[in-house]
Amino acid sequence: MIPRLETERLVLRELRNEDFDAFAAFMADPDVVRYLHGEPMVRQDAWRMMATAVGHWVLRGYGTWAVERKSDGAFMGRVGMINPEGWPGLEIGWTLGKPYWGHGYATEAAAAAMRYAFLTQPVDRLISCIDPENKASQAVARRLGETKGPRHNIVIGGRNYVCDIWSIARADWQRRE
């Protein structure tokens, strides 16, 4: 049910049980989670997060993919469509492990996810919820053609998080394609 996408350097595929150790390590890294939820995750919470990502495909018909590097099969993180209950819109989100930062992988994977989203989902706009201090993700959003919009509060696990809503309209995306 989860489609497989390919880019020049990456495969976007379903999350697998064998991805969990690397996923849990990424979610336990303070640098990786700083702008997601602030605190490193214990393995059990990382498992729930990964299971939620897989369940998103069943409940919504879309979700996040595992990002795998073609050259060596390394599991690098996740990217895709996020839209849990109460979310401000259909989001393109990305989280990669620290060893994979700074190589353009997030932009490459997110662009593929964005293309898939606009081709398969009846939305006029895609968003990315980005912490106001997360300069690296803001740079990815700019490369994707998103522009910064209003500040928004989202609630995750009963906690309030401030984010900026970055977005791109379908018409703007089509002009870029």
Nearest alpha carbon to residue 116 among 31, 18, 4, 11 = 4
- Domains in the chain (CATH in brackets) are 5-176 (3.40.630.30)
pLDDT at residue 113, rounded to an integer: 98
pLDDT at residue 177, as a whole number: 87
Residue range 112-155, pLDDT digits in tens: 999 999 999 999 999 999 999 999 999 999 999 999 999 999 98
pLDDT at 57: 97
Say which residue the tokens 């890294």 belong to. Answer: 29
pLDDT for the residue 38: 76
User: pLDDT value at position 39?
Assistant: 87
Whether the predicted pLDDT of 52 surpasses 80: yes
Q: What is the pLDDT of residue 34?
A: 93
pLDDT in tens, 1-22: 899 999 999 999 999 999 999 9
What secondary structure, in 3-state letters, does the chain show?
A: CCCCEECCCEEEECCCHHHHHHHHHHHHCHHHHCCCCCCCCCHHHHHHHHHHHHHHHHHHCCCEEEEEECCCCCEEEEEEEECCCCCCCCEEEEEECHHHCCCCHHHHHHHHHHHHHHHHCCCCEEEEEECCCCHHHHHHHHHCCCEEEEEEEEEECCEEEEEEEEEEEHHHHHHHC
Model-level pTM? 0.96
Residue 79, classified by CB atoms within 10 Å of its CB into exposed (0-12), middle (13-18) or buried (19+), is buried
Kindly give, in sequence order, each residue whose CB lies less than 8 Å from that of residue 173, ignoring residues fewer than 6 positions away: 114, 118, 126, 145
The pLDDT tens digits for 60-113 are 999 999 999 999 999 999 999 999 998 999 999 999 999 999 999 999 999 999
pLDDT digits (tens, 9 = 90+) for 74-84: 999 999 999 99
In order of 64, 92, 144, 154, the CA distances from 87 in angstroms are 15, 12, 21, 7
